[in-house]
Every structure is written in C-alpha cells, then in structure tokens.
C-alpha cells in the first residue's frame, strides 16, 4: 500500500528514507519515508503498536534499522551512534523521564552540555541560566528535581535537551500524564521555543488535539507504514485516517 501525501517537500533538515525495522519475524517499520523541514513541527500519530517510538528510536540511534537511511542536515547518519547524533544536533526525549533525581534542576540541565577541554564554567552556567529562564524554571534552579511536579520535571527534561543548541528535537509523548493546563503550557512553550531557536521538531503524542494544535504537518502511521501525511486539517478529514485511528468524526465535521 502506497502512503498518501498532501503536498510536496523540497527541503528538509531531517530525511527518513524507506526506513524498515524487523524484530525477528515482526515487521515494526515498513519502508517509512518522511521529512522535517527547517523550523517545522511534524506530528506523528497512530494506534498503539503502529511503530511511532520504533521510528524515533531508529532516527535517534537507539536502534539500528533493518533497511533504509536517516539523513540529518545533508549527512547520512544511519550508522552513527546516538551520542554522535546528539553531538551533531539531533536531540531527543523519552516516554519515561530520565532525570537525575539526586541532582538539582540546574545540575540536571547542565548535564546536557557536552564538555570540552576549553570549557569555561562561567559560560556553561550562563547557558544553563538562559535555558532555565526561557522555560520558566529560573527560580527553581537550586531545587532538587525530585521535589518538582511531574509537569515541571518534563520541562526540565526538555530544557536539558535544548541547552546544547540542537537543530532537531525528537519528542516522545511529552504531554503524557500532564493535566490540561500543563499540556496547554507545554504547547505554548514548544511553539515559542521553536520560533526563538528556529528549531525543527518531530513529536509523538496520543493527545490528538495537542498534536493538531502544535504541528505544521501530521504523519499517520498504521502497522509500521505511513498511512497519510498532510496538514492537521487534511489528516482530520481523511477517511482512511478516521477509519484506522481517529474514529467517526462529529456530524458537523463529516459534512464540512
């Protein structure tokens, strides 16, 4: 089955081409192709088991794909380690928080900076302060991260990925477990951060409303394949996507 796509792409900061991943006899990804352009947010949705996290794991270097390529800023990084990809500017978060619970907020964020022989402590601290302020965490810099609410811990995790100035950010279910007000705050923060840094974002989440609000385009995976890719409005109205994932639309939407 060929994926259906609305519109064409002529430039991309991240290119995934014919990516496949097999786990024994299970085909988790089946020749997935997608692009993320400069300053663009691409949402990734689909049913459980559709391959979303497997795709991010292959793109970030956690998993080695069975076939296909990952091209980041014009370089084939398919065989690069995840550490090398991160140093080059391809950063990610995980479904489960991976913070150092025994450290402070500032110490957790500083851990995202790659140390070099000519590092200056003052410059590192200034960079950390800037990121904390931008994420509304400045007054909490000295607080133990374990004492923060889950929503604030999510912000710390995202701040840690951004402190080293990546150009592409992969977010795996950042809104999971957040209250509605926290989700709205996260949405505003990501939109502001993308605009301020010129960041490209590939984001997975089961909160479809959140994805539709934050994304420039949305790609739908089903059974390891790209089912459809287009604007949020096009995805929400596509009959194949509705059948596979979104369910029956409201009566007014069905006749729009």
> Same domain, yes or no, for 30 and 105?
no
CA atoms of 145 and 102, how far apart (whole Å): 7
Structural domain span for residue 191:
4-89+166-254
pLDDT recorded at residue 115? 59
| 225-230 vs 217-222, strand pairing mode | antiparallel
Cα 242 off chain centre by: 23
> Same domain, yes or no, for 34 and 140?
no
> Same domain, yes or no, for 186 and 250?
yes
> Same domain, yes or no, for 177 and 220?
yes
> Same domain, yes or no, for 144 and 183?
no
* Residue at a domain's end among 131, 150, 165: 165
- The length of the chain is 256
> Same domain, yes or no, for 17 and 85?
yes
Our count of domains for the chain comes to 2
The contacts of residue 69 (CB under 8 Å, 6+ apart) are 15, 16, 17, 18, 19, 76, 78
CA atoms of 69 and 71, how far apart (whole Å): 6
pLDDT recorded at residue 256? 35
pLDDT recorded at residue 43? 98
Prediction pTM value? 0.89
> Same domain, yes or no, for 68 and 171?
yes
- 20 assigned to some structural domain: yes
Tell me the β-bridge partners of 104: 144
Contact 190, 163 (CB under 8 A): no
> Same domain, yes or no, for 81 and 130?
no
Positions of the chain with pLDDT lower than 50, given as ranges: 1-4, 6-10, 117, 250-256
């Amino acid at each position: 089955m060929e994926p259906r796509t609305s519109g064409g792409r002529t430039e991309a900061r991240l290119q995934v081409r014919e990516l496949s991943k097999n786990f024994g006899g299970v085909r988790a990804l089946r020749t997935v192709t997608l692009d993320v352009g400069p300053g663009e947010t691409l949402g990734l949705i689909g049913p459980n088991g559709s391959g979303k996290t497997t795709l991010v794991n292959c793109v970030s270097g956690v998993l080695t794909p069975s076939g296909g390529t990952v091209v980041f800023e014009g370089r084939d990084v398919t065989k690069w380690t995840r550490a090398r990809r991160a140093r080059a500017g391809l950063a990610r978060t995980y479904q489960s928080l991976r913070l150092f619970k025994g450290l402070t907020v500032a110490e957790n964020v500083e851990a995202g900076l790659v140390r070099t022989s000519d590092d200056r402590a003052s410059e590192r601290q200034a960079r950390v302060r800037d990121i904390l302020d931008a994420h509304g965490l400045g007054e909490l810099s000295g607080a133990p991260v374990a004492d923060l609410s889950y929503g604030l811990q999510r912000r710390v995790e995202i701040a840690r990925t951004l402190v080293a100035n990546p150009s592409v950010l992969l977010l795996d279910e950042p809104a999971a477990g957040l209250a509605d007000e926290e989700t709205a705050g996260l949405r505003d923060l990501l939109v502001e951060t993308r605009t301020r840094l010129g960041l490209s974002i590939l984001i997975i989440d089961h909160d479809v409303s959140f994805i539709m609000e934050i994304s420039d385009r949305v790609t739908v995976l089903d059974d390891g394949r790209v089912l459809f890719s287009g604007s949020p409005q096009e995805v929400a109205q596509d009959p194949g996507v509705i059948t596979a994932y979104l369910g029956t639309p409201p009566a007014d939407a069905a006749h729009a």
